[in-house]
Amino acid sequence: MSLFITFEGPEGSGKSTQARYLYEYLQNQGYPAILTREPGGTPISDAVRRLVLDGQWTTMEPTTETLLFAAARAQLVGEVISPYLNLGGVVLCDRYADSTYAYQGYGLGRNLEELRTITLFATGGLLPHLTIYLDLPVEEGLERKRRQRDELRERRELQQLTLPLPHLPPPMPSDQEAWNRLDAREVAYHQRVRDGYMDLISADPERWRVFDARLERETLADQIVAAIVPFLSDVRRLNDER
């Protein structure tokens, strides 16, 4: 059987790091797994990502934004997620449709029923088996992200000083990765997003597992592994003779 796990959370919750830890755990255990993210994960979806997160588009309509996220998702589901699940693998996805409900629905006030219709159209109704939610107070998350952005700038300036060296540091994320058009929205927006997640969780508690993002990274990673282990019993490992 296949397994589809998504990661959700407000800005700066560290879910990308935790998704990577879980991916490494699965690989080490011999499970066929891929890690992808939204928006992105395919060349077309990455192109949409650049467009939708670009800070220069200050006049982007909420409807346009919603449809762009849905378009990126449709491509990712069709090209990567569904084919891999059909092979019996484990797919980890850093954000998925719940982000649209939380951000465009609760954050921007788009109608949730309409968002569900658009999502159904984009994904063919594909739902995660399990969603890991990393919770963090809004101010704390935004502060974490601001710090990451500032550290990145400093590292980039340092890199310029060391350019003539033969061994350059690994490529760094762009400014857009560190602080994008949506991060710049006001705190009240991010608060609505977090409250929205709480609503989504209480409407479907079976699917969600909630964790405290302020825990130490390793502790959190262990807790997440413990939560998914029961779901792995039906997934075939790569060297399984079954």
Q: Does 36 bind ligand TYD (CB under 6 A)?
A: no
Report the alpha-carbon distance of residue 180 to residue 103 in Å, rounded: 14
Site for ligand TYD in 58-77 (CB under 6 A): 69
Query: What are the structure tokens assigned to 190, written together?
Result: 């991010």
Q: Does 191 bind ligand TYD (CB under 6 A)?
A: no
Task: Please give the radius of gyration of the chain, using alpha carbons only, rounded to the nearest integer.
Answer: 18
> At its nearest, how many Å lie between ligand TYD and the CB of residue 164?
31
The 196-225 site mask, x for binding ligand TYD (CB under 6 A), equals ------------------------------
Q: Which residue is nearest to ligand TYD (CB)?
A: 103
Report the alpha-carbon distance of residue 197 to residue 135 in Å, rounded: 9
**Contact residue for ligand TYD among 6, 75, 100, 131 (CB under 6 A):** 100
Residue 95 or 192: which CB sits closer to ligand TYD?
A: 95
> At its nearest, how many Å lie between ligand TYD and the CB of residue 62?
10
Report the alpha-carbon distance of residue 126 to residue 133 in Å, rounded: 19
> At its nearest, how many Å lie between ligand TYD and the CB of residue 39?
5
Segment interacting with ligand TYD (CB under 6 A) among 25-33, 95-103, 149-157, 214-222: 95-103
Q: Which residues contact 214 (CB under 8 A, 6 or more apart)?
A: 136, 140
> At its nearest, how many Å lie between ligand TYD and the CB of residue 183?
6
Q: Does 133 bind ligand TYD (CB under 6 A)?
A: no
Helix (H) or strand (E) holding 91: strand 90-94
Q: Does 8 bind ligand TYD (CB under 6 A)?
A: no
DSSP-derived 3-state class of residue 49: helix
Q: What angle do CA 40, 81, 120 make, to 5 degrees?
A: 85
Site for ligand TYD in 154-183 (CB under 6 A): 177, 180, 182-183
- Residues in binding contact with ligand TYD, number by CB under 6 A: 15
Q: In what order do the strands lie in the sheet with 33-37?
A: 33-37, 90-94, 3-8, 130-135, 208-212
Q: Please say whether the beta carbons of 141 and 197 come within 8 A.
A: no
Residue 84 or 103: which CB sits closer to ligand TYD?
A: 103
Question: Which of these, 173, 226, 214, lies nearest to 13 by C-alpha position?
Answer: 214
Rule CB under 6 A: which residues touch ligand TYD? 11, 16, 38-39, 53, 69, 95, 99-100, 103-104, 177, 180, 182-183
